[in-house]
Structure 1
Amino acid sequence: MGGLWRNIKWLSASVWILFFIAPYLRWGDRQAILFDIPNRQFHILNTTILPQDFWMLSLLLLFFALLLAVSTALAGRIYCGYFCFQTVWTDVFTWLDEKLEGTPPKRRKLDKAKLDFAKFRIKFTKHLIWLLISVLTGISFVAWFYDAFDLWSDIFSLQAGSTAYGTIALFTVGTYVLAGYMREQACFWLCPYARIQGVMVDNTTLVPTYDFKRGEPRGRIVKGQSEDERTTGDCVDCKQCIAVCPTGVDIRHGQQEGCITCGLCIDACDLVMEKLDRPKGLIRYESLDVLEGGENRPLLKRPRVWVYGLIMSAALAGIGYGLSMLDALELKVIHARQPLFVLLSNGSIQNKYTLKVLNKMTKDVPVKITATGPEGLILVDADGITAKHGKVTPRTVFVRVPKSNLKGENTPIIFQVEGEEDGEMFVGTRKSVFIGPKY
């Protein structure tokens, strides 16, 4: 059955195409998006995120958690109905059922029929396609963590490793069973979201709602009866809303745990109303407040929208700040504590530092370290450093300054690291302090 909300469901489900094709997009000589867990590197286009930057991942998870909460507060389980992978894969498997086996009555008839070549061919074709989709789902998931082209090569050459094969097998079985057999039962028995949604919705939440004032009392159509003679509501008790509901909910009994707010009941009811030449919207997206004649509160008058919005904005701002501050080369400077300084025989003051160079590039890079500060500053043991890619390279260096050039006990000093990759120069700086004797 088609309809506005059915089409919207297919349109929203199409975002999952990126799940399958994104791992094959390239950026230079590597995969555009690659979560390289063995090497502890996340590559997103030209940005490489290392474990030191994973605090941004926490903010990203916070943002999506609040996005789920605010979408539920505004429109119920809209994620379940339009974006959830379980819903999307179940829709695809159900669509295959209809194309290969026909409508539900035909499918039931086929299941009861004796096994012959025609039935075997249909069933074999269906389950083969189910299996191929399940295997492709598993491979696509692993490809986000394993170079996609290398993955295919290693799979067929049996070089992929037990972790890759195990993950593919797990997703294959999971997809085949959950989308092929359990389907909406997974929403009832496995997903915790249905249980916690009750604390997220309120009387202002837009959800598929049956207009009981207009629909009741229900009654079948009486042949030859005019609209003026009718004593029943607009609901003709056709039960089409129940038939199309993925979880079998009767929306006329109000909001229930099984409702995933997909809107298919709205399409079914609107089609019946159109055939009966009655106004559409007997079942529609509406809040309980409006349905009962209350005020339709705008979004900006809902406190939770402001609270969620502020927290989400702060999370996005933090992520933006973190990305803007990412450097291909990062430098950390640790001043030695014991001793804080050493007086040399020539009258100079010497400080000891441990420099840690973090190389976020894809290759090992020779780097040059310099320091600026008091006049006469000399940097010792800072030559010949090669920063390993994706790792922290430590080096102990010494800084010497003539005592006469020091103006106080603590003097600012700036370290700088420079490296070059593919003709592009990268620089990282770090402020520190040079410590001398008290005056």
Structure 2
Amino acid sequence: MSDTPSKAQASPQGDVKTDLQAGLKAGTLDELYAESEHWQVNAGGETIHAKRLPGRWRRIKWLAASVWLIFFLGPYVRWDGRQAVLFDIPNRQYHLFGATVLPQDFWMLSLLLLFFAILLAVATALAGRVYCGFFCFQTVWTDIFTLIEEWLEGDPRQRRAFDRAPLSLYKVRVKSVKHLLWVLIGFATGWSFVAWFYGALPLWRDFFTGQANSAVYAFVALFTAGTYLLAGWLREQVCFWLCPYARIQGVMLDRTTLVPAYDLTRGEPRGRLRKGQDVIAGQQGDCIDCNQCVAVCPTGIDIRAGQQEGCITCALCLDACDQVMDKINRPRGLIRYASLDELEGQRVRPMLLRARVWLYVGILVLSVLGIGYGFSTLVSIELNVLHERSPLFVELSDGSIQNKYTLKVLNKSNDDLQARIAVSSPVPIEVRGIEHDLRIRHGEVTPMMVFIRIEREHLTGESIPIFFTADATLPDGTEARAERESAFFAPEP
């Protein structure tokens, strides 16, 4: 394709700034066709300057992207005098509002990851790559970066002209401001990521005074550079070449999946339309080949060519096409969310009749129930009892039998506690090692040795159940208890 000369190219260097700021306002079909000279599928050889149009799906896209405000503001939410959500990796503690999860409860994290993985799968099966188009951090950050670019350099036509314009003081100043804002956003991204693990308030205190450890500075620098590079420079190339999800989406779609699709039957044969001319039914399809769907696509694909790897299901082409349909007095929906069965005129199966949907929903429900059960059964202390295996028992000089146990008490609370250990059995026993309370530090496992002796006349078999109990009083006055059953071993009667 040949490039149409812009005003910036034809003007003297001193008038570049004026021409770039003036630009061209596309409002007629002739101007839309003029713009389409620049649009083509991008293979990495040039920068995609997507056109930004208001519309229903653009608003939905911004609302969905606003979920990422949690990423930036979440570390500043307080709960009981501390950060509400803090993944304290050095101390191996994960604080989730009022609950403290330790590595021993890692299985809940596994269920949480399973939940999000299946949620991603079911969303793709039902509506294509909606995560990519509306929630993915790469998509959201790129959208913000290009918005800044538009504020500073103008619309796509002006930006292309600005990139080709000779180097000048004005160009250096605008480019410098743009890249500085990109770097600041990247820094805010790295800062917020580290705050979830380090703590927002300690990070503000330690980072600028040089008291933070080297890992903190390394992660902030890594995320700053990564965000700047991926969202500012690579952009859609991340979706094409780096993101594995783009590669596997094909096996997650079926004929019933709703995706942005071009209605070939209604749109073809496409043909250009002159200003003031109406589409004649039967002679020309509704597609007037204005290429607005390509102009707004952040990855530069043509949705009319069918589903492609580059389509991230952002639905911006729907807004663009609907606006053109309004201008030529044709019904909306030439490009719409539709399934292959719908486009081919086949009967569309209801969502609730799809076996895969029920399977996905079942896994999601089980994951949520498992996570809920885990949080509902969280206790402040846990007790583990290890029986000495070599030897299983010792015969004392008076004929009695003695077993040795190692008790490990885990304190899951945020305070040091005093644990009271008790032992019981169906037969009379003598216990040594529990005479004093056990001091258990918060977030740590504290061991203790316990010896149990039973007279021979009380032995009723080779194994007798033994019950261990650990009790502790929390700072708020509530009692925490952990119980564990073990066994007492003896020789054959």
* TM-score > 0.5, shorter chain as reference: yes
RMSD (CA atoms): 2.0
**Aligned mate of 1:59, from 91, 105, 111:** 111
**Aligned mate of 1:426, from 462, 468, 480:** 480
2:202 maps to 150
Counterpart-to-counterpart distance in 2, 1:343 and 1:29 = 55
> Does residue 135 of structure 1 match 2:199?
no
Counterpart-to-counterpart distance in 1, 2:396 and 2:390 = 16
Q: Report runs of 4+ in structure 1 exceeding 6 Å deviation.
A: none
Counterpart-to-counterpart distance in 2, 1:419 and 1:154 = 36
**Amino acid in the other structure paired with 2:416:** D
Structure 2 counterparts to residues 327-366 of structure 1, below 5 A: 327-344=379-396, 348-366=400-418
Question: Contact conserved, 1:220 with 1:236, CA < 8 A, in 2?
Answer: yes
- Structure 1's unaligned 5+ residue stretches are none
**Aligned mate of 1:77, from 122, 126, 129:** 129
1:13 maps to 65
Question: Contact conserved, 2:463 with 2:490, CA < 8 A, in 1?
Answer: yes
C-alpha deviation, 1:5, in angstroms: 0.9
C-alpha deviation, 1:343, in angstroms: 4.3
C-alpha deviation, 1:279, in angstroms: 0.4
Aligned length: 439
Counterpart-to-counterpart distance in 2, 1:189 and 1:89 = 18
**Amino acid in the other structure paired with 2:112:** L
Flag the 1:374–1:400 CA change in 2: closer, same or farther, 3 A.
farther
C-alpha deviation, 1:219, in angstroms: 1.4
Structure 2 counterparts to residues 131-210 of structure 1, below 5 A: 131-210=183-262
Flag the 1:389–1:63 CA change in 2: closer, same or farther, 3 A.
same
- SS across alignment from 2:446: strand
> Does residue 315 of structure 1 match 2:391?
no
- Structure 2's unaligned 5+ residue stretches are 1-52
> Does residue 435 of structure 1 match 2:493?
no
C-alpha deviation, 1:345, in angstroms: 5.1
Q: Which deviates the most, 229-238 or 374-383? A: 374-383
C-alpha deviation, 1:245, in angstroms: 0.5
1:219 maps to 271
Counterpart-to-counterpart distance in 1, 2:396 and 2:374 = 42
| 1:371-416 C-alpha deviation (Å, 9 max, x unpaired) | 1223533331122422122221111101234444444443322211
Question: Contact conserved, 2:102 with 2:412, CA < 8 A, in 1?
Answer: yes
C-alpha deviation, 1:146, in angstroms: 0.5
**Aligned mate of 2:441, from 385, 388, 400:** 388
C-alpha deviation, 1:65, in angstroms: 1.5
C-alpha deviation, 1:41, in angstroms: 1.7
Counterpart-to-counterpart distance in 2, 1:188 and 1:298 = 32
C-alpha deviation, 1:20, in angstroms: 0.7
C-alpha deviation, 1:108, in angstroms: 2.3
C-alpha deviation, 1:226, in angstroms: 5.0
1:260 maps to 312
1:35 maps to 87
Counterpart-to-counterpart distance in 1, 2:146 and 2:278 = 40
Counterpart-to-counterpart distance in 2, 1:326 and 1:346 = 44
**Amino acid in the other structure paired with 2:58:** R
C-alpha deviation, 1:131, in angstroms: 1.3
- SS across alignment from 2:198: coil
So what's the TM-score if we normalise by structure 2? 0.84
C-alpha deviation, 1:121, in angstroms: 3.6
Counterpart-to-counterpart distance in 2, 1:224 and 1:150 = 65
Question: Contact conserved, 2:279 with 2:285, CA < 8 A, in 1?
Answer: no
Question: Contact conserved, 1:374 with 1:405, CA < 8 A, in 2?
Answer: no
So what's the TM-score if we normalise by structure 1? 0.94
- SS across alignment from 2:197: coil
Q: Which deviates the most, 420-429 or 218-227? A: 218-227
Question: Contact conserved, 1:374 with 1:406, CA < 8 A, in 2?
Answer: no
Flag the 1:140–1:226 CA change in 2: closer, same or farther, 3 A.
closer
Flag the 1:368–1:223 CA change in 2: closer, same or farther, 3 A.
closer
C-alpha deviation, 1:80, in angstroms: 0.5
2:19 maps to none
Question: Contact conserved, 2:93 with 2:443, CA < 8 A, in 1?
Answer: yes
Structure 2 counterparts to residues 239-258 of structure 1, below 5 A: 239-258=291-310
Question: Contact conserved, 1:66 with 1:312, CA < 8 A, in 2?
Answer: yes
Q: Which deviates the most, 184-193 or 308-317? A: 308-317
C-alpha deviation, 1:25, in angstroms: 1.6
Counterpart-to-counterpart distance in 2, 1:224 and 1:360 = 75
| 1:9-46 C-alpha deviation (Å, 9 max, x unpaired) | 11111111010111122222432111111222222112
Counterpart-to-counterpart distance in 2, 1:197 and 1:252 = 19
**Amino acid in the other structure paired with 2:151:** K
**Aligned mate of 2:464, from 411, 420, 431:** 411
Counterpart-to-counterpart distance in 2, 1:432 and 1:419 = 21
Question: Contact conserved, 2:322 with 2:332, CA < 8 A, in 1?
Answer: yes
Counterpart-to-counterpart distance in 2, 1:111 and 1:409 = 87
Flag the 1:181–1:227 CA change in 2: closer, same or farther, 3 A.
closer
